[in-house]
Every structure is written in structure tokens, then in C-alpha cells.
Amino acid sequence: MSTVGIIANPAAGKDIRRLVAHGRVVSNQEKANILRRVFAGVVSTGADRLLVMPDHSGLARPAANDVEGQIKIDYVEMPVADHQGASTNAARAMAEQGADSIVTLGGDGTNRVVAKGAGTVPLVPISTGTNNVFPANTEGTLAGIAAGAMATGALTIEEACRRSKRIDIYVNGERRDDALVDAAVSNQMFVGARAVWDTKTLQSMFLTRAEPASIGLSSIGSRIMPISIDQEYGLYIRLTGEPGENATTVRAPIAPGTIVDVEIMEWRKFYPGDKIAVDTQPGTFALDGEREVELLPGHDVYAALATDGPWVVDVPLALTLLATK
């Protein structure tokens, strides 16, 4: 049974960066409207089933009403989503229940937790969060068509997808967490409101991608060395130095409407197999823009680059392939 998973994060696009920067607020009504377009696109491909993560806001209800009788709609049997771990659990359940692709609504953080559970199921990310490096500003109808084409077998992973890299964080020899785009070391001791918006608190960064047409911490790296999703290396940047050490200053958009000057002390490529130690303790690791891992004194911490991150559907490429088949 050809199946498209649907994971829409009700909290995406509503964090503290709406107050400290000028991030857009994506309402639940707009998310519901996007899902209506996604569902229409999926139905047009002849896919058999939609498998939806439940949420308190009922984001998928209007879309489900639109396509009633045209496609089977199931909901993942799980507690209603009210924390980020729910997206991981939903993605894992979808993979186990045979989902052929998963459409996500959210930002970099949403896709990070979805990727933890999705395994090799390709993602079709639609940006409704703050940073738009991993998810694209894709029109919902087109995303639905691409996801449905993956599910029905009209397109294959090999021809229509690209594989993301990943930054793995190790603490005392155990893989603690990961990031899809950027992992930043902060001297702030607590997770707090999670979101990072003050670069003065950052000690160093690890990037899988550094694309000039992006917003967020990875845009800092793009000013010194643009790196795409396909290149088999990442970028390490050190932001703090010794007195008198020469710095390179770049200007980058680190949040919507927020452009700052950042001093870079050192930067270099890093490759799969490299282990770069993190000495900032106490502090926190911010993963894809949100503080997640607390760094405690005496812990052995390092970052490594992996090339087996989630598969991502290239929607423009997918639609081009469909048009020429």
C-alpha cells in the first residue's frame, strides 16, 4: 500500500525569535491550509494512504475532510503530540508501518527530530519554522505531488533524492545527539528558551552546509566557504581566541531581520572520521539553532561528521522528472 506520512509541528514558527528577532509567525490556520494543498497533491498521484501524526490543534482535519472517500487516512496510534519527541516517535511508527515518504511542516529543529525516527524514508520538508536551511519554501501542492510520486514508485530515491549530512555529538564516547545543519557551542550553561540569537555567547560551530541563500547560524560559514548538501565535508569555525589574535569579520543574517558582524578566529573543512574536541565546559550545544545538550565539567565531548543523514526529496528535480517521463 503506497503511503505518505504527514508530520506537522504545531509549535513551529512560534518560538522566542518572534520577540528577539523578526521571525514570521505561521498560524495553525495557515498550516492547516498548507496541509489541504499537500493532501490534494498526494491524492492526484493515486497514492493509497495518508498516515498522519495526531496533534492537539487538529491541523489535518480540514485536509482530511477535503479528500474524504478519495484516499485512506489513518492516524498514528500514539499520545497526541505535545513535545518534540513525539515527532520522532511518529516518524519511527510511520517507517515501521510502511511509509514511503514523509511530508514535514516545520523548521530545521522539527526535521532534526523527525529524521531521528524516519530512518531511510525520504523526507519532503516544507518550511514553516524560523530557519529554512533544511526545509524549503515549497508550495504544498507540489510537495504533495512529489511525496505521492515517491510513494507510488513513479520516482525512486536514487533519482529524486539527495542525502543530508549530519553532525554527531559524542559525550564520554557515546553518541548523545545530532544536528542536520549546524551545531554551535555556547557558553550559556542552561538550555532555557532553547533558541540561539546572540552570537556573542558562541565559542565554535560545526556546519554540514553553508549556503549563502540561507538564514541562521550556517549563514556565517557561507560568508567564508559556501558548502552544499552534496559536498562530502563540513566546516568547523572557532569564534573565540586569545588576546591579540587576528580575526576575520563577516556580516551574516543569523535570524530573520537580524544581521550581525561576527569575528572568526579560525576555520577549516572537516571530514567523516575527524573528531573535533569541545573544551567549553560548562556550556551547551545548540543543535540546528536550539540549545539541547548541556556540557558538564569533566566530560569528554567531541563532534564528528556523518554522511548517512536523512534522504531529502528534491521537489523541483522530482517534478522535472515526472514531466519528462
Is there a single domain that holds both residue 73 and residue 179? no
Predicted pLDDT of residue 129: 62
Please name which of 128, 124, 146, 147 lies closest in space to residue 137, comparing C-alpha atoms: 128
Please name which of 124, 181, 169 lies closest in space to residue 318, comparing C-alpha atoms: 124
Predicted pLDDT of residue 26: 75
| Phi, psi for residue 124 in degrees, rounded to 5 | -120, 90
CA-CA distance, 136 to 280, in Å (whole number)? 33
Is there a single domain that holds both residue 257 and residue 219? yes
Q: What secondary structure does DSSP assign to 267-323, as a single string?
A: EEEE-TT--EEE---SEEEEETTEEEEEE-TT--EEEEEES---EEE-HHHHHHHHH
Is there a single domain that holds both residue 31 and residue 157? yes
Is there a single domain that holds both residue 267 and residue 320? no
Predicted pLDDT of residue 16: 47
Is there a single domain that holds both residue 130 and residue 97? yes
Predicted pLDDT of residue 317: 97
What CATH number is attached to the domain comprising 80? 3.40.50
Is there a single domain that holds both residue 139 and residue 107? yes
Is there a single domain that holds both residue 242 and residue 172? yes
160-188 CB burial, b ≥16 within 10 A, e <16 = bbebbbbbbbbbeeeebbbbbbbbbbbeb
Please name which of 100, 103, 183, 144 lies closest in space to residue 319, comparing C-alpha atoms: 144
CA-CA distance, 230 to 213, in Å (whole number)? 16
pLDDT tens-place values along the chain, 325 residues long: 999 999 998 765 545 444 445 556 678 899 999 999 999 999 999 999 999 999 888 999 999 999 999 999 999 999 886 666 899 999 999 999 999 999 999 888 899 999 999 999 999 999 986 557 888 889 999 999 999 999 999 999 999 999 999 999 999 999 999 999 999 998 877 554 445 657 888 999 999 999 998 888 999 999 999 999 999 999 999 998 777 788 999 999 988 888 999 999 999 999 999 999 998 778 898 999 887 888 888 899 999 999 999 999 999 999 999 999 7
Is there a single domain that holds both residue 180 and residue 230? yes
Is there a single domain that holds both residue 105 and residue 187? no
C-alpha cell at 147: 511525496
Is there a single domain that holds both residue 101 and residue 72? yes
Provide the number of structural domains found in the chain.
2
Q: What secondary structure does DSSP assign to 170-196, as a single string?
A: EETTEEEEEESSEEEEES--S-TT-B-
CA-CA distance, 80 to 76, in Å (whole number)? 9
The pLDDT tens digits for 215-236 are 889 999 999 999 999 999 999 9
What's the order of all strands across the beta sheet hosting 72-75? 72-75, 49-52, 3-8, 101-106, 123-127, 311-313, 161-163
Is there a single domain that holds both residue 60 and residue 138? yes
C-alpha cell at 51: 498516515
What CATH number is attached to the domain comprising 218? 2.60.200
Strand 123-127 and strand 101-106: the pairing is parallel
CA-CA distance, 131 to 170, in Å (whole number)? 25
Supply the range of the domain harboring residue 139. Answer: 3-164+310-324
Is there a single domain that holds both residue 221 and residue 147? no
Predicted pLDDT of residue 192: 46
C-alpha cell at 218: 550556517
